Amino acid sequence: MFDILMKFRIYDYAIVADIQKAFLQIHLSMEHKDVTRFLWVKDSSKPATGSNIKYYRFCRVPFGINAGPAILKQTLLKQCESFSNNTRREISETLYVDNVILEGKSPKDLKKYNESKDVFNKVGVNLRHYLTNCSQRKNTFARSISVIHSKGARVLMEQCGGPTGSAMHR
Q: Over the stretch 61-101, which tens digit does the pLDDT of each residue have? A: 887 888 888 888 888 888 877 777 776 777 778 888 888 88
Q: Which residues of the chain have pLDDT under 50?
A: 143-151, 153, 156-157, 159, 162-170
Residue 170 is predicted with a pLDDT of 33
Residue 141 is predicted with a pLDDT of 58
**Residue 9 contacts residue 103 (beta carbons within 8 Å):** no
Topology at the third CATH level for domain 2-22+70-159: Alpha-Beta Plaits (3.30.70)
Domain boundaries, the chain: 2-22+70-159, 32-65
Residue 139 is predicted with a pLDDT of 62
pTM, to two decimals: 0.65
Residue 47 is predicted with a pLDDT of 93
